[in-house]
Amino acid sequence: MIEPQRPSVSPHPDFSRIAIIGISGAGKTTLARQIASRTGSKHIELDALYWATEWQPKPPEEARALIRSAVAHERWVSDGNFSAFRDLVWRRATLIVWLDVSLHVALWQVLVRSLRRIASRTSLWDGNRETLLRTFFSRHSIVLWTLREHGAKRRTHEQLMNRGEWASLPWLVLRNRSDVSGLLAALDRHARKS
């Protein structure tokens, strides 16, 4: 079930503008697409607004302008963890959904996703592709990054949720598929009432 971490979280959250966060492989983009399709909201994939060709980040002001424009809409679901753009996204968000999955779940999902993208030669943002070399044997390895960053990201998100300027936002913490199913069911009930 959906587990609010603080008593101040409303049992009836505002689903207008949802920011989904979590470690790589947590399922952010998949959940964002599911929510957007249920609510008729715009899906904002922050990676698509951040990455340019050859896995180079866009110039910061260009990325900020793209993100500022995207979150100006009244209804959206974003996915991504970019702390450099948190002020733009979270200031407009009505709900933060944190996919706080275990390391083994995140790692498994990163491996499956990366191998699928490599095998199908999936073109990602601005034509970027995952390769065996980049995914497993480079300093940019998403697998190594997930292993190294899982605990640190969890601590950071916990701090953001409980202290500072973002603690006043409503947060939902989802830790497994059952929690995700609970959120999607709540959205379906909300849609039927509207």
Tell me what pLDDT residue 122 has.
92
Domain tally, the chain: 1
* 171-192 mean pLDDT: 89
Q: Is residue 76 part of a domain?
A: yes
The torsion angles phi and psi of 81, rounded to 5 degrees, stand at -115, 15
- Round to whole Å and give the CA distance between 14 and 190: 10
* 53-69 mean pLDDT: 96
Q: Is residue 6 part of a domain?
A: no
Residues 186, 39 contacting (CB under 8 angstroms): no
- Round to whole Å and give the CA distance between 4 and 171: 6
Range of the domain at 80: 17-101+151-189
As to burial, measured by CB atoms within 10 angstroms (0-12 exposed, 13-18 middle, 19+ buried), residue 70 is buried
**How many Cβ atoms sit within 10 Å of the Cβ of residue 89?**
22
Tell me what pLDDT residue 24 has.
93
Q: What angle do CA 34, 36, 40 make, to 5 degrees?
A: 130
Q: Is the pLDDT of residue 79 over 60?
A: yes
Q: Is residue 7 part of a domain?
A: no
Q: Is residue 171 part of a domain?
A: yes
- Round to whole Å and give the CA distance between 141 and 134: 6
Looking at every residue in the chain, the average pLDDT score rounds to 91
Taking only the tens place, the pLDDT of each residue in 9-24 is 455 678 999 999 999 9
Tell me what pLDDT residue 12 has.
66
Q: Is the pLDDT of residue 64 over 90?
A: yes
Structure token digits, residue 42:
């715009």
* CATH code for the domain of 55: 3.40.50.300
Q: Is the pLDDT of residue 114 over 90?
A: yes
